[in-house]
Copies of this chain bind each other. A is one copy, B any other.
Amino acid sequence: MEKTVKMRGGVLVDGFWCWLFCRIIIIVATVEAATTAFQTCPAEVPTIRRLSDIHQDNYGRPGLAHMTIAGAMDDGLKEVEVWLQTFAPGIGTPIHRHTCEEIFLSFRGIGTLYLASESSEGKVPGNPNKFPIFRNSTFTIPVNAVHQLRNDYFQEDLQVLVIISRPPIKVFVYEDWSTPHSDAKLQYPYYWDATKNERLVCL
């Protein structure tokens, strides 16, 4: 009998603890749902940098000055990267293509955008179409289009801000406009991504 009572008591106690446990689970779940429906990221301290303090280099390409303003290597960004590039007269990018989106803003000088004339069936880029680039202009590069930006004028530097998606960039480089697409050389990591730059923190 005592055993039965104990058993009943046991059942009651178990029922209470089960009820309490379930209530706690429900309360916790409700509070969680209400307060963390949006899970904030840690509020990291952002670094405010002076552009003039960011590392600039030619990365072995005479006539180029490249600065990664923000991006994958130093900032851990995964979706966007911004460069400031300056091309001396006669200097330009390689002939190349990439699968990422790219936006240019031209701040200084004049130049030429060369863009492959091929159709989608082309085996080689073919003779490029030319587009004049001028100060305070902007343009986007079609994804995977073979292109080259050059400072073809001999008056002053060409300076552009370049925005790309999905950094660090993977570039297929062509020797010339008749290089078959299948012979384009993958260059990865690209010049400035090959080494991590220690940039000055200026806050």
Contact = CB atoms under 8 A, between A and B. Distances in A.
Copies of this protein in the assembly total 2
B41 A103 contact: no
A38 B123 CA distance: 9
A163 interface: yes
A51 B165 contact: no
Interface stretch (A4-12, A57-65, A180-188): A180-188
A73 interface: no
A75 interface: yes
B140 A75 contact: yes
Contact of A46 (B50, B123, B141): B141
Nearest to A77: B101
Contact of A138 (B51, B138, B142): B51
Given A70-B103, A80-B163, A101-B78, A182 B44 contact: no
A136 B69 CA distance: 11
A40 B165 contact: no
A129 interface: yes
Which secondary structure dominates where chain A touches chain B? loop
A129 B39 CA distance: 19
A35 B138 contact: no
A59 to B, nearest CB: 20
Nearest to A34: B182
A41 B143 contact: yes
Contacts of A158: none
B48 A113 contact: yes
Interface in A1-50: 34-50
Given A43-B116, A44-B145, A79-B79, 16 more contacts: A39-B144, A42-B142, A46-B113, A47-B140, A49-B137, A50-B136, A50-B137, A51-B137, A52-B136, A77-B103, A79-B100, A80-B101, A80-B165, A82-B138, A131-B203, A163-B163
